[in-house]
Amino acid sequence: MAELSLDTKYPQCIQRIILGVQFAMIAVMCFFVFLNGEWPGWDMLGLILFTLFLWIMRDRIAFLDFAPFLLMLFTYEVIRSVILVVGTSGVHVADLIVWEQTLCAGIIPSFALQRAFGATAYTWLVDLVANAFYMTHFFSVILMGCVLWLNRKAHYWAYIMGLILLSYVAFLIYVVFPAAPPWWASLNGYLRSQPVNLNHSLLSPEYIFAAANPLGAMPSLHTAWPAYMLFYALYIWGRKSLPLLILPVGVAVSSVYLGHHYLVDILAGVGFAAVAFAFATQWGKVYLKIREPAGSLATV
């Protein structure tokens, strides 16, 4: 007797209902955790991504195609643990402050933004928008990968190669050049004249102290990932992708306002993203024989 396939045994709509219920359960759990001042752990985020992948594709090859995202996510968690084991004895704090003040005429942008928007009638709205942007950084590159996999398969692996290069070089820098964010510097007495706090984060300070990467500020992957996504979108679809500019800009401003990054971290992240994008497109042309996209910047 021939073995029944999943599609034969259960109609496609039933598959989607089952996966939809599971995804909704996970989303509710994440929302509950978030309401209690914490961000879902990487294990829970990994489960969300795995469920999402099952939703849009149902074969082993597709899962292997998307494995780099999961591996990259868990690598970030491992790197965070490695940095914490290394300790804070060699952390770079004062030099980043000097760079920031040199670039910004003596001003710490995080302090300036928090002073300007941190005690107004609409601060709650600014905080909400800032936190929403800040937490989209990883999901934007994943969604871009899904779009490419479904519609521009030829570009998918070039995109992945650039993303892996960007991420793992940054991970390595976090280990050899641990750099503290503004909130950490302020907490440890480095920014007494221009203090930066965590009051505007929807995550509790206790959770940030325990779960965040306190020494991974330079370069800012929060900005680098959506910037890389934007560069690749412009490369493929040209000016039609310009509305996506709101993502890296929103994440960058939010990262500074919330006290998680200096402006120099942001600029470094954009620079790394540009290099990774250049590598990805050239690698795609040479090794994957990808033609210049019809909607690229060169033709619009």
pLDDT digits (tens, 9 = 90+) for 185-201: 898 888 888 888 888 88
Helix (H, G, I), strand (E, B) or coil at 179: strand
For the chain, the distance separating the N- and C-terminal CA atoms, rounded to the nearest angstrom, is 57
Q: What percentage of the chain has pLDDT greater than the value 70?
A: 63
pTM: 0.75
* Selection from 188, 275, 217, 206 nearest residue 83 by Cα: 217
CA dihedral (55, 57, 60, 64) positive or negative: negative
Least confident of 4-18, 117-131, 133-147, 265-279: 4-18
Contact 264, 101 (CB under 8 A): no
Least confident of 33-37, 153-157, 280-284: 33-37
* Selection from 210, 258, 204 nearest residue 37 by Cα: 204
* Selection from 258, 182, 185, 254 nearest residue 223 by Cα: 254
pLDDT at 210 over 70: no
The span from the CA of 280 to the CA of 157, in Å, is: 9
User: Which residues have C-beta within 8 Å of that of residue 56, sequence separation ≥ 6?
Assistant: 146, 150
Q: What is the pLDDT of residue 149?
A: 83
User: Mean pLDDT: which of 81-85, 164-168, 261-265 is highest?
Assistant: 261-265
> Would you place residue 68 in the very low, low, confident or very high pLDDT band (cuts 50, 70, 90)?
confident
Top-confidence residue, 68 or 219: 219
DSSP element (H, E) containing 157? helix 153-176
The span from the CA of 212 to the CA of 141, in Å, is: 20
The span from the CA of 40 to the CA of 31, in Å, is: 8
What mean pLDDT is reported for the chain? 76
Top-confidence residue, 70 or 35: 70
Cα 35 to Cα 39, 40, 45, 272, distances in angstroms: 9, 10, 16, 34
Phi-psi region of 254 (alpha: psi -120 to 50; beta: other; left: phi over 0): alpha
The span from the CA of 240 to the CA of 296, in Å, is: 10
The span from the CA of 298 to the CA of 300, in Å, is: 6
Find residue 161's DSSP bridge partners: none
Q: What is the pLDDT of residue 10?
A: 38
C-alpha torsion angle, residues 83, 84, 88, 92 (rounded to 10): 30
pLDDT at 221 over 60: yes
pLDDT at 249 over 70: yes
Q: Average pLDDT, stretch 35-61? A: 55
Phi, psi values for residue 214, rounded to 5°: -75, -10
Q: Average pLDDT, stretch 133-151? A: 84
Find residue 92's DSSP bridge partners: 179
Q: What is the pLDDT of residue 179?
A: 87
